Amino acid sequence: MTHLRFRRCGVNRRWKWEEQQALGGLNVLPRAYSLFCRLAYGFLCVVCLTPLSFAQTYTQRGFLENRGTFYPQKALNDSGRAIGESLLRYEGFYLPSTQIQVAGAVDFRIDTHHQVDRDFHLSWLDRGFQRPAVAIRRLSATYHRGPVTLELGKQFVRWGKTDIVTPIDRFAPRDFLTVVDNDFLAVTAARLNYEKGSNTVEAVWSPSLTPSRIPLENQRWAPPLQQLPTPVTVRNAQTVFPGGSQTGIRWNHTGTLEYELSLYQGFNHLPSFEAALSQSETGLTLEVERFYPKMLMAGGNVAISSRWFTLKSEAAYFGSSDARADEYALYVIQLERQSGEWFFIGGYAGEAVTERGSSTADFAPDRGLTKTILGRANYTIDTNRSVAFEAAVRQNGDGLWVKSEYSQALGRHWRATLNVTLIRGELNDFLGQYRRNSHAIVVVRYSF
């Protein structure tokens, strides 16, 4: 059982209480989730009790990363201009037999800017607003026999082929605390995969939603709702996490022509907001409710290799039974080519809204990066050094994001990376709203 409790910890107090409420109000998890936990526990027991007469292997990897982020400008709601973060990640893989694998990964974090929760409880659901200090990044058991693979537990499920925006990647929430430097979050799920020749059918069932982590309201990457003029006080009224499960099915074909078709029914892992303005003694107060609307997605992609480049295209239509949510289609067309030490990706991401919902706002980086021309170039200088450039330019010129990165390996274990990001644009643009957040990041990583 995951223990979520009311804690007196200043700004986080209400959030912790909301987590508890969202899961049933009385620390009762949704029935499907509870059933899933029992099944997963039983499965893990079976795995651990597997006769040990088979050849067993245990492999591990991980890293310790120290990161410094420096912002030359102050933001309206955040005067902090330097942030230090440390992350220790350990991953272990245990193969009791050729058919079974148990994979686990744990993250330990600490930082100087309260993006990491100061309470050292072990987080499984990953629903907190802050990053947990100790998180189970992955814990899953995989059973494999012939063409069938079953994976149960906390795992990464990645769908889609495109790189810049991936519309059909619905089981892949992300940590968007720093919007432009994000990381994937694992989901609790059962994944059944059947592979026959060049075709794969994959079914995924997730008993509970793992939402994407969005920027903190008192920090510089917060959505513009938090950047209203001072007389208006913004209050997080509540967060409503949906109680139902999510399901998806995907058919993937590999070969000279690669394509993939997928269906998803569940919830958007990116939140929408409803806001109500009220008058109080201190002035105007904006009560903001965060919710995760239902979502039905049908999509697909195709990859065609030609003599000169590989063309990849991905499109998905998103419908919803929730009147507050938009109904829309996202599509991406990208070309990629590797030439010598260069690797290029360039493309366009587009959006077509078919029906507007009633919600006040959405936090949707996937949609925010549409109507945009995107590009990426990597150059490998030598075996130890590389540079990378990424850029996104809105087609109306209202937003620009340019990132350049230099990375160098130092010996067998160390790597240093310098990343400089420039953001420019108009306040009403998804990229432009972060125009005071241009920054430089220095990362030193020790891998083991």
Partner 1 sequence: MSEQIRNTKSTKGTKGELTILCVLCFLCSGFFQNDPRQIVEEAERRTTSQSQRYEGTLKVIDAKSKVTEKRWQYDRMGSHGASKAVLRFTLPPEVKGVALLVLNHPDRSSDQWMWTPAINRERKIALQDRATRFFGTDFSFEDLEERDTKQFDYKLLGEESIDGAACWKLQSTPRQTKVSQYSHSYVWVRKDNYAIAQIENYDKSQIVRRADYTDIRNDQGIWTAHQIDMHDLKRNSHTILKIEKLQYNVPMQDDAFTVQALRRES
Contact 271, 243 (CB under 8 A): no
Residue 200 lies near partner 1 (rule: CB under 8 A):
yes
Residues 218-277 that bind partner 1 (CB under 8 A): 254-255, 258
* Least Cβ distance, residue 337 to partner 1 (angstroms): 7
The owner of tokens 């942030």 is 83
Show the site string, 317-346: x = touches partner 1 by CB under 8 A, - = not: -------------------xxxxxx-----
Residue 120 lies near partner 1 (rule: CB under 8 A):
no
Contacts of 230 (CB under 8 A, 6+ apart): none
70 or 448: CB nearest partner 1: 448
Q: Work out which of 413, 427, 428, 442 binds partner 1, going by CB under 8 A.
A: 413
Contact 326, 356 (CB under 8 A): yes
Residue 371 lies near partner 1 (rule: CB under 8 A):
no
Q: Work out which of 12, 101, 268, 417 binds partner 1, going by CB under 8 A.
A: 101
60 or 396: CB nearest partner 1: 60
Sign of the CA dihedral running 219, 349, 186, 446: negative
What Cα–Cα distance (Å) separates residue 272 from each residue in 23, 145, 353? 18, 42, 16
Contact 152, 40 (CB under 8 A): yes
Closest listed residue to residue 86, CA positions, set 63, 56, 103:
63
* Least Cβ distance, residue 247 to partner 1 (angstroms): 20
Q: Which residues pair with 190 in a beta bridge?
A: 152, 205
Closest listed residue to residue 343, CA positions, set 376, 313, 312:
376
Q: Work out which of 119, 181, 195, 274 binds partner 1, going by CB under 8 A.
A: 195
Residue 142 lies near partner 1 (rule: CB under 8 A):
yes
Closest listed residue to residue 180, CA positions, set 447, 7, 446, 430:
430
DSSP code for 78: B
Cα–Cα distance measured from residue 393 to residue 370, given in angstroms and rounded to the nearest whole number: 10
Q: Tell me which stretch binds partner 1 (CB under 8 A): 11-19, 113-121, 302-310, 313-321.
A: 302-310
Residue 382 lies near partner 1 (rule: CB under 8 A):
yes
Q: Work out which of 27, 73, 98, 428 binds partner 1, going by CB under 8 A.
A: 98
Residue 63 lies near partner 1 (rule: CB under 8 A):
yes
Which structure tokens are listed for 148?
A: 């069938």
* Residues contributing to the site for partner 1 (CB under 8 A): 59, 61, 63, 93, 95, 98, 101, 142, 144, 146-147, 149, 156, 158, 184, 193, 195, 200, 254-255, 258, 303, 305-310, 336-341, 380, 382-384, 409, 412-413, 415, 445, 447-448
